[in-house]
């Protein structure tokens, strides 16, 4: 028989109050339940100790909490932890805890698989099964925060939406998850500690501007030349660099948030001085910084990371142009937890 229970975390507080009134319960009970769900991260109605046993049983009968669970975890030599999470419908996703001396970062997924086909990314070789709900993104943060505290005694300081999937193709759920993570009656984390990364969907970047989001935006650029970008990121064919530049200008005008460009340097592909010049030119559109990322090989693709000397020359050119530039060394490579390596084998 099909489960007719309703996902209680899909309701806004006001809707929940209406439901409780219909059930003959006081509206403040809805507020108590909402707090258990989002502030205390309750995984069952049984945990809600300030509700009567009768109400808990009634809620359990009519509603479900589709809690995400850790299926397995791997520990890297550099202390990175990659977890495979199992969803209520048995789909699997991955998330990563990235510890450094300055911060503890959760890298979370926004989709089961991905519909984009970036040639260098393992997730791009998977099918997109479905979008994640806001509560499933939120649960990843809660679980990775628990791992951070249990293993290193330090809570999360940062969250990056850089796991599996394209966040801007799951726009509403991503924004709702940020709301629950940052809200006072949620996890109460600062918006400035959150970065959402996109492969570059121009109209959705403009929508972020219209919604005047407070979190940080990162664009996976990887080439500032349409021909090269088309080759490795087919999405560029519908979202050219010109279209992205216009969208980013619009976004910046609305939010005043600077942009971060993520740039993987591939050997003899986008690592030359002319590539650096193209990137520096693109950087003039809006205030920005550049993260140069080393490539993490995957079995599906033949790309190779650029030589360290070349990376340094590339970065130094950008710095001389007055562009804030960081070279990011990969973490968790030995457990396939590094950037672009997330992929899971689906269960039946």
Q: What is the DSSP letter of 69?
A: E
Check: CB of residue 294 under 8 Å from CB of residue 330. Answer: yes
Check: CB of residue 141 under 8 Å from CB of residue 171. Answer: no
Take residue 19 and report the two structure tokens written for it.
């439901």
DSSP string for 139-165: HHHHHHHHHHHHHHS----EEEE-SSS
Distance CA 113, CA 131 (A): 9
Q: Please work out, in degrees rounded to the nearest 5, the angle formed at the alpha carbon of residue 259 by the alpha carbons of 257 and 264.
A: 165
Q: Would you please indicate which residues are annotated as catalytic (active-site) residues?
A: 94, 339
Which residues lie across from 70 on neighbouring strands? 85
Distance CA 337, CA 94 (A): 9
CA distances from 178 to 38, 70, 85, 166 (A): 12, 21, 19, 15
């Amino acid at each position: 028989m099909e489960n007719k229970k309703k996902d209680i975390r899909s309701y806004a507080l006001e809707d929940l109050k209406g439901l409780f009134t219909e059930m003959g319960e006081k509206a403040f009970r809805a507020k108590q339940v909402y707090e258990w769900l989002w502030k205390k991260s309750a995984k069952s109605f049984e945990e809600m100790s300030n509700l009567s046993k009768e109400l808990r049983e009634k809620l359990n009968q009519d509603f479900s909490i589709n809690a995400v669970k850790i299926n397995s975890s791997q520990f890297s030599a550099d202390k990175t932890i990659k977890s495979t999470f199992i969803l209520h419908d048995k789909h699997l996703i991955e998330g990563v805890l990235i510890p450094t001396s300055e911060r503890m970062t959760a890298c979370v997924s926004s989709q089961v698989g991905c519909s984009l086909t970036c040639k260098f990314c393992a997730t791009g070789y998977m099918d997109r099964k479905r979008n994640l709900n806001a509560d499933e993104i939120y649960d990843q943060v809660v679980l990775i925060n628990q791992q951070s505290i249990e293993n290193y005694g330090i809570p999360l300081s940062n969250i990056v939406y850089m796991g599996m999937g394209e966040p801007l193709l799951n726009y509403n759920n991503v924004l709702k998850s940020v709301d629950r993570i940052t809200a006072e009656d949620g996890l109460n984390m600062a918006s400035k500690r959150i970065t959402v990364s996109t492969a570059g969907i121009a109209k959705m970047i403009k929508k972020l501007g219209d919604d005047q989001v407070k979190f940080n935006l990162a664009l996976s650029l990887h080439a500032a030349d349409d021909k090269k970008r088309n080759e490795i990121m087919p999405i560029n064919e519908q979202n050219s660099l010109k279209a992205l530049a216009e969208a980013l200008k619009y976004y910046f005008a609305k939010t005043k948030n600077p942009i971060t460009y993520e740039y993987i340097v591939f050997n003899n592909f986008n690592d030359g001085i002319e590539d650096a010049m193209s990137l520096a030119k693109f950087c003039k559109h809006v205030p920005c910084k550049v993260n140069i990322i080393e490539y993490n090989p995957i079995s599906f693709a033949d790309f190779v990371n650029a030589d360290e000397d070349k990376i340094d020359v590339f970065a130094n050119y950008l710095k001389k142009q007055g562009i804030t530039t960081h070279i990011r060394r990969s973490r968790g490579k030995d457990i396939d937890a590094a950037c672009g390596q997330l992929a899971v084998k689906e269960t039946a």
